[in-house]
Amino acid sequence: MLLPPRLPPPSLPRAKVYRLFLQHLRFLPDPQVWITTVPKFRKLLETPGPSPSGSNPADNDGTRKVNEIRKWRREKAMKKAHKELNKLRAAVACHPHALARLLEESYGQRGNLRWQRLQEISAPYGSILSQDPLPPPLMPLRPPPPPPDESQPRARKRMPACRLRKQAQRLVQRDWNGVQPPIYLPPSSETKDGIDKEKRTMTGAKNI
């Protein structure tokens, strides 16, 4: 009974369409789905139609055009309501794509609800309260520091060129003073005798 093989006819009364919607929605006991789908479906069904005096030939062209626009909006809203009902029927029938899409739209992962949530999150705090497009100015966390006293001497930001040259000369002179002449290396025989003497001196056997 809840899943008829044929779609409900478009001429079905709005109360009957809403009753079918609620009957199918009972099989999805998710509060978030109810909160998001019921108001949207009711808004579609509450779309006003043409006024009863719209068929009177004595009405002017403006009133007739307004009634035609309202009739077109009512038909468009009813078609969308039937489309939402068919999507709900598919979700209740455990169609994987329809059920996943319904849950994603209900929880704001896709659809208009997602962009509404993003707009609410990204809106500045001041514009939400005052409806002002510009946010309020930021308040300083601490008072600004006092300006420096010009009478007191301050350190220079950059050293003058003459000081830089003198410092470079001192560094070169220091490095040059560390340069020593090469060490004299005696021939191999003299080196061997010297090493033997040093070993004897270290072991205390120089008199042997």
In a domain, 164, yes or no: no
Mean pLDDT of 1-14: 56
pTM comes to 0.47
Q: Of 31-35, 56-60, 134-138, 165-169, which one has max mean pLDDT? A: 165-169
The rounded distance, in Å, linking the Cα atoms of 109 and 90 is: 19
Residue bearing tokens 């020593």: 180
Residue 194 lies in a domain: no
Residue 172 forms part of a structural domain: no
User: How far is it, in rounded angstroms, from Cα 113 to Cα 104?
Assistant: 10
Task: Give the three-class secondary structure for 55.
Answer: helix
Q: How many structural domains comprise the chain?
A: 1
DSSP string for residues in 75-133: HHHHHHHHHHHHHHHHHHTT-HHHHHHHHHHHTTSSSHHHHHHHHHHHS-HHHHHH--S
In a domain, 79, yes or no: yes
Residue 143 lies in a domain: no
Find the domain containing 27 and state its range: 14-49+59-126
Is 195 inside any structural domain? no
- Per residue in 44-92, pLDDT (tens digit) is 888 887 776 545 555 577 788 888 888 888 888 889 889 888 888 988 8
Tokens 């003073």 found at: 177
